[in-house]
């Protein structure tokens, strides 16, 4: 069975500081990994994805995530956060069942 663990339920950070949101997965099949972001009162937006190829993937707004097969991790990082990055972040894994398995989410709170 596949599962996703987001190790931190809340991450408070000051504006312009670096941040890392941690995600570990469990899967016995090939994995495809996603990070989704949900701003208050909105739906989920795909932030970035790992399907194959380079293990470092980047988004257009400065986030990046690295797929680490040996550590079964897909941590999300940003070197300098903005107030506007305050949101709920969900890590998800897709195997061969057609379902997305979500982690419990991490609330990123960026303080001025």
Partner 1 sequence: DTEVTQTPKHLVMGMTNKKSLKCEQHMGHRAMYWYKQKAKKPPELMFVYSYEKLSINESVPSRFSPECPNSSLLNLHLHALQPEDSALYLCASSQGLAGGPFNEQYFGPGTRLTVT
Binding residues vs partner 1 (CB under 8 A): 30, 32, 34, 36, 41-46, 49, 51-52, 88, 90, 94-100, 102-105, 107
* CB closer to partner 1, 40 vs 112: 40
Alpha-carbon torsion 101, 88, 12, 85, what sign?
positive
Smaller CB separation from partner 1, 8 or 95:
95
Q: Which is nearer to partner 1, 32 or 72 (CB)?
A: 32
């Amino acid at each position: 069975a596949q599962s996703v663990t987001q190790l931190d339920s809340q991450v408070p950070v000051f504006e312009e500081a670096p941040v890392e949101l941690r995600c570990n997965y469990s899967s016995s099949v090939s994995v495809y990994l996603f990070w989704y972001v949900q701003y208050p009162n909105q739906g989920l937006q795909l932030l970035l994805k790992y399907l194959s190829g380079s293990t470092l993937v980047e988004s257009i707004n400065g986030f990046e995530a690295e797929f680490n097969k040996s550590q079964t991790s897909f941590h999300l990082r940003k070197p300098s956060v903005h107030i506007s990055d305050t949101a709920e972040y969900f890590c998800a894994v897709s195997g061969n069942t057609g379902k997305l398995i979500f982690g419990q989410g991490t609330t990123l709170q960026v303080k001025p």
